[in-house]
Amino acid sequence: MSTDSVNYRIKRKTMQKRVTTAARVVAACAFMIVYPSASANESADWASMTFSTINGNPQLQAQQRAVSANRYGRKAASRPLFNPELQTSVEREGVETNYQIGLSSQIDWWDVKQTRTDVAEAQFSLAEAELSALTNQLLARLVDAQLNGYLARKALALASEQVSRDYAMLSLSERQLAAGEIAQTDVAIAKAILADSLVWEGEASFAVLQAEQTLEQLGVRGMVFPAIPDAVWQDEPALLQGSDIMALPQSQVARFSWLVAKQQAANERQGNKPVPVIGLGAGKQAGEGLVSLNVSVPLQWRNDFSDANAAANEQALSAELMFKNTLQAQKSAVSLAYRNALQHRQRFQRWQQLSAGQLDQQFSVLQSRYAQGDLSMADYQNQITQLRQGKRAALALETAFKESHLTWLQVTATLPSLLTAMPAHKPGAEGTR
């Protein structure tokens, strides 16, 4: 073997060590930037920051105003229905002055005020249920956007790490080609591997931009991706029972919508009944004292409210059927979310037990074996492709696990209570890495 050949191999090994070391440094830096561990204070602030973000949402503020309006409406509905009417008359008859003074009022004989109050109570409860459902929905959207941002940046870090490795491998293969150690085909394979990594990097970069845009639309300023505490993912999903499903915000919205329609139908029936008028009067006529009692009842001969009453009853029956349908849909959604979240959790846990970070080590091993001549470029391509598919599959497993768990939190309306319990935030909680 010639001295030049020996020197070249020594230089090549030295260069490969530098490339491998550089790649490790790049990867370490990438992970340090993208996956910072959240301190206890940062984890404690996450819930309050998330709540403050949705509290600034115009849609939530509008619903809060709707609750306030219905609160005033409930007070107004409890006030008396009719006001008394003062009646006076004075007339001159010869030398006598006749006068009369009296009070009259419509009488709430059919207790319309109570049915009106029941309608207002149901409307207020409906507004509160809608606020609860909207809060749960906005929280889920915001946490989902944060999760998408975390996963997108994690994918971008993996893709950027692969691009750095592939550039180093391409540089090495070009030097080997110049030295006559490999063929042009091997360089073309190295370029193809790099192209695949660049495509993934571009897709991941676009996903990051989309996540940033979604967060901005939800009111997150500065494109900040808060660390989601691990406590969000810790609790294993549980299957809700009938009473728990009834208590869900969407179930309550449907239930109170039915009660509103039911009370409105009762109010329609009561309000269409004749309202009697009673009056009391006192005065003087022809020099004699006068006391009067007047009672009048409208004779609704020409009024037929049967169609109006039937329409109100049909609305109530329709709302009741929608309520039953919502309960069935909620039960099905909870069951599906539970099974899906549990299955993805088990798959992700099995993968964590199997991998234990071995894939990251194998990238460096393959590069080292290729640099030493133990692998051809074709073999390197096949094995590196399998490893990268494994990395992408691992990220897909994590994505499926966390997205399905978040769906379960939303469907079961567990997210608001979970965040509400976090102001005391267990010290030492760490953010998602």
The predicted-structure confidence for 363-414, as pLDDT tens digits, reads as follows 778 778 777 777 777 787 788 778 888 888 889 999 999 999 999 999 999 9
Q: Picking from 3-7, 37-41, 188-192, which range would have the lowest pLDDT averaged per residue?
A: 3-7
Q: State mean pLDDT over 160-165.
A: 89
b or e along 380-407 (b: 16 or more beta carbons within 10 Å of the residue's beta carbon)? Answer: bbebbeebbeebeebeebbbbbbbbbbb
Alpha helices in 274-357 (DSSP H): 306-355
The answer to whether 265 touches 312, Cβ cutoff 8 Å, is yes
Query: Hey, which of 19-23, 74-78, 305-309, 376-380 has the most confident mean pLDDT?
Result: 74-78
Model pLDDT, residue 383: 83
For residue 286, what pLDDT is reported? 77
- Residue 415: burial class (beta carbons within 10 Å; 0-12, 13-18, 19+): buried
Please report, in angstroms and rounded to a whole number, the separation of the first and last CA atoms in the chain.
Answer: 51
Overall average pLDDT of the 70-98 stretch: 87
**Percent of the chain beyond pLDDT 90?**
39
* Structural domains of the chain, ranges and CATH numbers in brackets: 3-420 (1.20.1600.10)
Q: Is the pLDDT of residue 15 over 60?
A: no
> What does the alpha-carbon distance between residue 317 and residue 270 come to, in Å, rounded to a whole number?
18
Q: pLDDT tens digits for 16-59?
A: 443 343 333 333 333 332 334 445 555 567 888 888 889 889 99
Cβ neighbours for 186, distance < 8 A, ≥ 6 positions apart: 173, 176, 177, 376, 377, 378
Q: Quick one: 91 exposed, middle or buried, by C-beta within 10 A (0-12, 13-18, 19+)?
A: exposed
- 225 or 206: which carries more pLDDT confidence? 206
The secondary structure of residue 39, as a DSSP letter, is P
| pLDDT beyond 80 at 116 | yes
Q: Return the percent helix, strand and coil in the chain, to nearest 5.
A: 70, 10, 20
Kindly state the percentage of the chain with pLDDT values over 70. Answer: 84
Predicted pLDDT of residue 11:
40
Q: Which positions ≥6 away from 332 have C-beta within 8 Å?
A: none
